Amino acid sequence: MTDKKSNAMWGGRFAAGPDAIMEAINASIDFDKRLASQDIAGSRAHAAMLAKQGILTDTDAEAIREGLLTVLSEIERGEFTFSTALEDIHMNVESRLKEIIGEAAGRLHTARSRNDQVATDFKLWVRDQIDAAISGLEALIRALIAQAEKGADWVMPGFTHLQTAQPVTWGHHMMAYVEMFGRDMSRFNDARVRMNESPLGSAALAGTGFPIDRHMTAEALGFDRPTANSLDAVADRDFALEFLSSASICAMHLSRFAEELVIWSSAQFRFVALSDRFSTGSSIMPQKKNPDAAELIRAKIGRIFGANVALMTVMKGLPLAYSKDMQEDKEQVFDAADNLMLALAAMTGMVSDMTANVDNLRAAAASGFSTATDLADWLVREAGLPFRDAHHVTGALVAMAEKKGVDLPDLSLDEMKSVNEAITEGVYDVLTVENSVASRTSYGGTAPAQVRAQIARWKEVLG
């Protein structure tokens, strides 16, 4: 079967159009139609530049400008008919533009190629997603800061190996994730700076002989500058890989927090209660309240990781410049971006709505010999023991308490002295969890004063 539109698109090189299988494998319109607004923005900037340079008449440029706005309006209203035979968003837009304004539409593609066109469109789209991710992270950070402010003094257990280690504050734990997600914001910002160069005007791979002004189109599209090498410009997908890499690290942080929320909301812990908005019930067990939003965040992360690996695999063996393999650059990026934004929004909602069970947090913090390190530190400071000796004495006291079925503060002074005569009544001052966290005043420590200082710093950063 001959497809005249496709044949016309490819030019006189081919006598016949593609068969159905080739059309199916070659077409990308089912997914790259998401680039419509970016494609039209790039075309408008290109047409304006061509007119300014005298390559296009003002009359044709105005017709193109108005026609492209009509096409965009049709797409936004859902009235545009996308054609698989036209392969991609670029040819769908150009074909419709020709129907609207006639032959002038064919002059729009002067001094550019679909190679630099798609690189420009995709960069614009990824840049928008980076901006959205940064906004989403800022909202999540603000929700975490609000939780930290409420619970700067609340004591909870800090864990290593998921076993009670030392008491910390709720605020300190919340601010740990602020730091993680703050680094994610920084990574997205860094990626945005690096990728903000315009490929438009690189044409197929070698640039063009037309007297174009690439700085003009770069500025019109919000880029800092045009790319410096036309071969690299059309072959580069580093910007998408950096987005996926940053998204993967951010997703990993989201998954870690989601895992904690699953554990904390369980009947065995009861550290937090998640709101009904982010929980579900069981079809058979009426008592259940499942942390499904957290579990789904934890699971969706695999799709983001997979997208990163998939695009790396696509790009790893490609010679310069453009190869059709690069058509496989978009679907996984689109999917990763969608799932990252959904996960960020869900996590922000859960953090904003969750309620800490302060009594359970405090009780858990006081169990498991969590102030053993405080006891060892006291032996160093007050009794003058070398730390390794203090560590040994403390271990012996923990063993004694464990054998008696009590915690360290429940041992009598005589029992403690039986292990080391240097221990005095003052040791009990460091064995409460409140005193333990209050003593951790080193910069970045868990003491409430330090937590509030970090909250103030982040509020200043966010503005």
Q: Tell me the pLDDT tens digit for each residue of 132-152.
A: 999 999 999 999 999 999 999
- Nearest CA among 297, 192, 283, 207 for reference residue 250: 297
pLDDT above 80 (res 237): yes
Specify whether the CB–CB gap between 92 and 68 falls below 8 A: no
Give the three-class secondary structure for 273.
strand
Contacts of 411 (CB under 8 A, 6+ apart): 397, 400, 401, 404
Q: Is 412 exposed, middle or buried (0-12, 13-18, 19+ CB in 10 A)?
A: exposed
CA end-to-end span of the chain, whole Å?
A: 62
pTM for the structure as a whole: 0.88
Per-residue pLDDT, averaged over 299-303, amounts to 93
| Candidate from 29-33, 108-112, 443-447, 456-460 with smallest mean pLDDT | 29-33
Per-residue pLDDT, averaged over 257-275, amounts to 93
pLDDT above 60 (res 1): no
Per-residue pLDDT, averaged over 120-130, amounts to 97
Domain assignments of the chain as residue spans, ordered by start: 20-107, 114-363, 367-462
Give the three-class secondary structure for 54.
coil
| Per-residue confidence (pLDDT) for residue 9, from 0 to 100 | 54
Distance CA 376, CA 274 (A): 37
Contacts 24+ apart (CB under 8 A), 1-9: 3/85, 5/83, 5/85, 5/86, 5/95, 6/85, 6/86, 6/87, 9/86, 9/87, 9/91
Distance CA 291, CA 282 (A): 11
| Per-residue confidence (pLDDT) for residue 14, from 0 to 100 | 56
Q: What is the DSSP letter of 13?
A: T
Name the class of domain 20-107. Answer: mainly alpha
* Alpha carbon separation from 28 to 69, 98, 112, 115 (Å, rounded): 23, 21, 20, 14
What's the one-letter identity of residue 355?
Answer: T
Distance CA 264, CA 273 (A): 8
Per-residue pLDDT, averaged over 107-129, amounts to 96
Per-residue pLDDT, averaged over 238-264, amounts to 97
Residues assigned a catalytic role:
161, 282
pLDDT above 80 (res 414): yes
Other beta carbons within 10 angstroms of residue 177's beta carbon come to 21
- Condensed to tens digits (0 to 9), the pLDDT of residues 339-365 reads 999 999 999 999 999 999 999 999 998
Confidence of residue 283 (pLDDT cuts 50, 70, 90): very low
Per-residue pLDDT, averaged over 409-413, amounts to 85
Confidence of residue 12 (pLDDT cuts 50, 70, 90): low
pLDDT above 90 (res 285): no
114-363 fold: Fumarase C; Chain A, domain 2 (1.20.200)
| Per-residue confidence (pLDDT) for residue 46, from 0 to 100 | 98
Distance CA 357, CA 273 (A): 7
HSE-CB for 203 with a 13 A CA cutoff: 14
| Per-residue confidence (pLDDT) for residue 160, from 0 to 100 | 87
Distance CA 256, CA 156 (A): 18
| Per-residue confidence (pLDDT) for residue 275, from 0 to 100 | 86
Q: What is the DSSP string of 79-140?
A: -----GGG-SHHHHHHHHHHHHHGGGGGGTTTT--HHHHHHHHHHHHHHHHHHHHHHHHHHH
Confidence of residue 32 (pLDDT cuts 50, 70, 90): confident
Q: What is the DSSP letter of 318?
A: P
- With vertex at residue 448, the alpha carbon angle to CA 447 and CA 451, rounded to the nearest 5 degrees, is 90
pLDDT above 50 (res 5): no
State the residue for tokens 């240097």: 422
| Per-residue confidence (pLDDT) for residue 13, from 0 to 100 | 57
Distance CA 174, CA 16 (A): 63
Kindly state the tokens that stand for 218: 């770069």
Per-residue pLDDT, averaged over 267-273, amounts to 92
| Per-residue confidence (pLDDT) for residue 31, from 0 to 100 | 79
Distance CA 170, CA 148 (A): 7
pLDDT above 90 (res 101): yes
- Condensed to tens digits (0 to 9), the pLDDT of residues 33-43 reads 999 999 999 99
| Per-residue confidence (pLDDT) for residue 2, from 0 to 100 | 41
Distance CA 179, CA 187 (A): 12
Q: Percentage of residues in the chain with pLDDT exceeding 90? A: 69
Confidence of residue 374 (pLDDT cuts 50, 70, 90): confident
| Per-residue confidence (pLDDT) for residue 425, from 0 to 100 | 84
Specify whether the CB–CB gap between 301 and 255 falls below 8 A: yes
| Per-residue confidence (pLDDT) for residue 375, from 0 to 100 | 83
Query: How are beta strands 225-226 and 197-198 bridged, if at all?
Result: parallel
Per-residue pLDDT, averaged over 187-211, amounts to 97
More confident residue, 405 or 6: 405
Helix, strand, coil shares of the chain, percent, nearest 5, are 65, 5, 30
Confidence of residue 183 (pLDDT cuts 50, 70, 90): very high
- Condensed to tens digits (0 to 9), the pLDDT of residues 419-442 reads 888 888 888 888 888 988 998 899
Mean pLDDT of the chain: 90
Domain at 367-462, CATH homologous superfamily: Fumarase/aspartase (C-terminal domain) (1.10.40.30)
Per-residue pLDDT, averaged over 296-322, amounts to 94
Q: What are phi and psi of 447, to 5 degrees?
A: -55, 140
- With vertex at residue 106, the alpha carbon angle to CA 105 and CA 109, rounded to the nearest 5 degrees, is 100
State the residue for tokens 């996308």: 82
